A and B are shown apart, each in its own frame.
Chain A
Amino acid sequence: MWGNTIISLWRVLVGFAIAAVSGILLGIAIGWWRTARDLLEPVIEILRPIPPLAWIPLAMLWFGLGFTPAVFLIWLGAFFPILLNTVLGMESTPKKLVEVAKTLGASSSQVLFKVGVPSAAPSIMAGLRIGIGIGWMCLVAAELTGSNSGLGYMIMYYYSTMEAAKTVAGMLMIGIVGFLMFSALKKVEDKLLFWRVQP
């Protein structure tokens, strides 16, 4: 069970990291520049309604079994909430703060990095939290079908050998690991965004 937990955890961390980097970068671009938005939004709006689970067959055709399709699915699941929250955060940068930065002498890249990004940070963090939750669910789904290792595979395996107790143990493990990841992220968030806290 520990081996499978480690395998699942590793997959989700890799998938989530890729989703975080790609989602945040694209989100910043789409939320800040009109042109990026006009170019990318149509594509995203078509891909977004497709449930990650609907990608499983294609993921297996492309990547076979194991690590890569699982990471791919986690990325898919985590990417959209991270992206959309980043876009939302960038778009809702207070106009006053942008103006004040300009009158203090900020160049356009300074406005982006010293005003836009920090002001979007709470929204980005919310996206990461939602993203890791969805990513974890997608991982288990991917392992149920397209894998021969990991926690999802494990519960499916004990289902086939009719060992209900071990299946439940696997389920609990999925719950516990998910909870731990979520709270770790929450800790990071509280640390980074302490300035939001009211006295």
Chain B
Amino acid sequence: MSKAKLTIEHISKSFSEKKGGKVTHALQDFNLDVGPGEFVAIVGPSGCGKTTLLKIVAGLEIAGEGAVYLDNKKVTVPGPERGLVFQDFALFPWRDVTGNVVFGPELLKVPAAERVKIAEHYIQLVGLSGNEHKYPAELSGGMKQRVAIARALANNPEVLLMDEPFGSLDSQTRSQMQKELLYIWQEKRKAVLFVTHSVEEAVYLSNRIVMLSAGPGTIKQVYTVGLSYPRSRSDHGFISLREKITACISEECR
């Protein structure tokens, strides 16, 4: 029995094209343990299977081989204990901020009075108080992503899966959101699996960084980030680690 919150064991996944039968290996023999409350970032070149991995953990895709365990229990279908945040928010446009946040509790038949409390709590946590009744069409990108994060948290998941959540935000909003995510993470102590393109983001946020190599996606390197929070981007240790990982990625791209 492992003590890990989330265990990803020998995952392989390949896609075959319908015509021609050409097979693409997205992931090959991927193994990873995420401890309770641990923040793990996954970086790597485009097309190395990062998103596929996250979808398999979420249960939205089925692994060709291997399995995913949550608290040592095998998971195969999507479930509320694994919250997912997409890059493009995926808010329900017909629901206001509150409606989006309570979507999960509503599905799980949480009583209405309690839902109101949950909504209040998480909307405040992501700094959106006063916007409860706005619709997604009225929100900026950063606000939408806050709603998406609040929505994922409102189900009180064991693990938060984030697929380049800040990828479509401008750099200012992005660094603001990173700070807030750290605050939320420290507040809630969830295990986080965070996919990103940005090495800097990974170094800023995570306890461990898993670097994938492309085609097929395998783990190339794992870095433990020993820096204490809050981290400074101009700190010597920060810069040298960032450079080290960036160099490793560009080597991969060559």
Contacts and interface: CB of A to CB of B under 8 A. Distances in A.
Given A105-B107, A110-B107, A199 B137 contact: yes
Interface of B: 55, 58-60, 78-80, 82-84, 86, 88, 90, 92-96, 103-104, 106-108, 135-138, 151-152, 155, 161
B84 A100 contact: yes
Contact of A103 (B59, B93, B136, B138): B59
Contacts of A197: 137
B104 A105 contact: yes
B64 to A, nearest CB: 19
B92 A102 contact: no
A118 B83 contact: no
Contacts of B86: 96, 99-100
A187 interface: no
A199 to B, nearest CB: 5
Interface residues of A, number: 24
A44 B20 CA distance: 34
Contacts of A105: 78-80, 104, 107-108, 155
A107 B109 CA distance: 12
A97 interface: yes
A22 to B, nearest CB: 24
A103 B107 contact: no
A199 B107 contact: no
Interface string A161-199: 000000000000000000000000000000001011111
Contacts of A115: 92
A121 B94 contact: yes
Nearest to A97: B90
Given A99-B86, A106-B107, 13 more contacts: A96-B86, A101-B107, A102-B78, A103-B60, A103-B78, A103-B161, A105-B80, A114-B103, A114-B106, A114-B107, A195-B93, A195-B96, A196-B93
A97 B89 CA distance: 9
Contact of B137 (A102, A104, A110, A198): A198
Given A103-B58, A103-B83, A199-B137, A97 B104 contact: no
A40 B77 CA distance: 31
Contact of A101 (B55, B88, B103, B161): B103
Contacts of A118: 92, 94
A193 B95 CA distance: 11
Contacts of B135: 195
B162 to A, nearest CB: 12
A119 interface: yes
Given A105-B79, A110-B107, A196-B137, A99 B92 contact: no
A94 interface: yes
A102 B58 CA distance: 9
Contacts of A97: 90, 92
B160 to A, nearest CB: 11
Contact of B151 (A94, A104, A199): A104
Nearest to A110: B107
- Shortest 9 CB-CB distances between A and B: which pairs? A105-B80, A104-B104, A102-B78, A96-B90, A103-B84, A100-B90, A195-B135, A103-B78, A118-B94
A103 B92 contact: no
Contacts of B55: 99
A104 to B, nearest CB: 4
A104 B103 contact: yes
Contacts of A100: 84, 86, 90
A97 B148 CA distance: 12
A110 to B, nearest CB: 5
A159 to B, nearest CB: 49
- A102, A107, A121, A199 — most chain B CB neighbours (10 Å): A102
A124 to B, nearest CB: 12
